[in-house]
């Protein structure tokens, strides 16, 4: 189950939030020596992400708890499928159940939504990207879930690349000024991307030497025109579509058909529905 970053402190915070001063229900009605076995099952079809996190939740409560994945990270599952089996003392299993399932449901939801969006682009060269619109504190996990769903990661943080947006442009005095200033200051290995909302802005960005142009909130027709212009003017320039695209597969296919290199979707992480998983004792 390698791949997903497991942060012990992050899991400890999640457990402390849920347990508080103690698991009153388990302490009240279950013997401290009781043993249990169970399985985590799916309630819907999708892509599983977060098994290493679920495993760590239980092991941090009791290292003796045995967690056996039945599938691998990123596996496609059907409703009712077993994704893991668990054995050990009932107390830590019951106490860690909700936290483990919350992580698993959240991350699998992101992976599942990403896989659906990626499937809409089949047959094209356009790739799906995530954004920084992630749950505070969960960015590394959520971006890994996107990757497991077949998407690619955009910037992890502000230091990963230069992305000049509308407020940067206004503060810098214009598109050309912003790109020139960035070119003079940014390390040579960082690409310079700039957000454009009109064809006139796209032309300025190409002339100023942007590495990547983000076509923001453009109609399909305007995107198509922007792609045609950029491919003629400088074929090396990459094009990213973003803004008000959503996760509708027909819309995604239409955007990809314009010829853009990337589609970035904040919805992959900020609006993914929870993936329904449950723990059932034998």
> Which residues are part of the catalytic machinery?
98, 133, 165, 195, 216
Under 8 Å between Cβ of 171 and 188: no
- Residue keyed to tokens 């103690």: 22
In terms of Cβ atoms closer than 10 Å to its own Cβ (0-12, 13-18, 19+), residue 128 is buried
CA dist list (Å): 263 to 8, 107, 165: 33, 21, 16
Under 8 Å between Cβ of 242 and 221: no
Angle at 209 between CA 203 and CA 214, to 5 degrees: 60
Residue 88 backbone zone (phi > 0: left; psi -120 to 50: alpha; other: beta): left
Lay out the sheet containing 82-89: strands in order across: 66-69, 82-89, 35-42, 277-281
Contacts for 46 with CB less than 8 Å, ≥ 6 apart: 76, 77, 108, 109, 111, 112, 115, 275
DSSP letter string, 147-206: HHTT-B---SSGGG-EEE-HHHHHHHTSHHHHHHHHHHHS-TTS-EEEEESSHHHHHHHH
């Amino acid at each position: 189950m390698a791949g997903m970053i497991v942060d012990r402190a992050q899991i400890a915070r999640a457990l402390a939030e849920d347990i508080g001063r103690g698991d009153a229900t388990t302490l009240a009605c279950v013997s401290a020596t009781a043993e249990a076995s169970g399985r985590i099952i799916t309630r819907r079809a999708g892509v599983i992400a977060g098994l290493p996190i679920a495993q760590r939740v239980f092991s941090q409560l009791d290292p003796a708890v045995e967690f056996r994945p039945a599938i691998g990270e990123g596996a496609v599952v059907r409703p009712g499928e077993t994704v893991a089996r668990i054995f050990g003392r009932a107390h830590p299993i019951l106490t860690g159940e909700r936290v483990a399932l919350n992580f698993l449901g959240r991350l699998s939801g992101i992976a599942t939504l990403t896989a659906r969006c990626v499937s809409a682009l089949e047959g094209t060269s356009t790739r799906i990207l995530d954004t920084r619109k992630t749950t505070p504190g969960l960015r590394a996990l959520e971006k890994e879930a996107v990757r497991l769903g077949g998407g690619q990661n955009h910037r992890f943080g502000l230091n990963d690349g230069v992305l000049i947006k509308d407020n940067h442009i206004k503060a810098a005095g214009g598109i050309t000024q912003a790109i020139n200033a960035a070119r003079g200051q940014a390390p040579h290995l960082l690409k310079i991307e700039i957000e454009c909302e009109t064809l006139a802005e796209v032309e300025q960005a190409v002339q100023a030497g942007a590495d990547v142009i983000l076509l923001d909130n453009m109609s399909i027709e305007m995107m198509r025109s922007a792609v045609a212009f950029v491919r003629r003017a400088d074929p090396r320039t990459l094009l990213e579509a973003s803004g008000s695209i959503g996760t509708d597969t027909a819309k995604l296919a239409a955007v990809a058909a314009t010829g853009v290199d990337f589609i970035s979707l904040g919805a992959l992480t900020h609006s993914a529905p929870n993936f329904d998983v449950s723990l059932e004792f034998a």
